[in-house]
Amino acid sequence: MTYYALGLIGHPVKHSLSPAIHNAALTAYGIAGEYRLFDVPEPPNNEPRMTALIDSLRAGIITGLNVTIPHKQVVLSYLDKLTLAAQSIGAVNTIYQIGDRLVGDNTDAPGFLKPLESYTHRLKDDKAALIIGAGGAARAVTYALNQQGWKLTISARRLPQAQELADSLAKLQLVQESETDPGQYSDDRHAIRVVALDNIQRVMEWTRVDLVVNTTPIGMTPHEDANPWPDGCNLPHGAIIYDLVYNPPETALLHAAKAAGLECIGGLDMLIEQAALAFECWTGLDAPREAMRKAASEQLH
């Protein structure tokens, strides 16, 4: 019988819900295995520990790994192949082995999109989203929405970081289109706006906003009262509010959105879906999503 030795590389990782989620999935199938946490120091002190874990994966001692901050980009140099999503986003959150090759994937992008499906059918074709933040989570979110044809505005405190993200995604989209239809190539077809956080009000004057996504940790336990949305600025009428923070399940942003009568999506939905997709990469089995969600919810309460 195959023993599934799975785990999460990151720092810090002690508060992660991933062991509860994945061990519940293994138990649901009666599979022998365990999901563990591997705390790997931040660069430049990470190399010995990272090398040892990757070597264990190549040797078959470890079956598969998840990767979280601050190592989603660090692991790129240790791998043999990247999926299109991982290559395009520039970050890996799931590693598995095919033959003698280690493959880096990114399930954050499809994991983010899945919970949106039941909401977006009513939206117009020219869907517009406002992304708060420009870090690693924002890269996956903006990539996912850009691939779906959304008009994007990135709002962040660090404008150079936001501009770099916008430029890289616009170039990626243009390159893909120029390869499939050279006649459609244009430098401004997929321009992505970048604005400072305190200028969010201006965004709603420029364009309709159908979706707001918080990709920052603002509002996460133990700072539940913090809200990434600027004071004195109304949430866009009719928008879907999506907060990637999952602890607490209802953040200050989602509480305000519900009070305004807006549709809301919490971070737990994305957490479960990206974990389910990783589980399927490692095992080839359909992930038991309800069992995984139940285990995560129990950890949060």
Instruction: Write out the catalytic residue numbers.
Output: 72
Q: Which of 219, 2, 3, 72 is nearest to 132 (CA)?
A: 219
For residue 216, count CB atoms less than 10 angstroms from its CB and return exposed for 0-12, middle for 13-18, buried for 19 or more.
buried
Residues 215/161, Cβ–Cβ less than 8 Å: no
For 64, 70, 80, 90, 182, the CA distances from 103, given in Å and listed in that order, are: 10, 19, 6, 14, 31
Rounded (10°) angle between helices 159-180 and 136-147: 30
Displacement of CA 42 from its chain's centroid (Å): 20
**Residue 133 region by backbone torsions, left for phi larger than 0, else alpha for psi between -120 and 50, else beta:** left
Backbone angles phi, psi at 229, to 5 degrees: -75, 130
Task: Calculate helix-pair angle for 267-283, 18-29, nearest 10 degrees.
Answer: 50
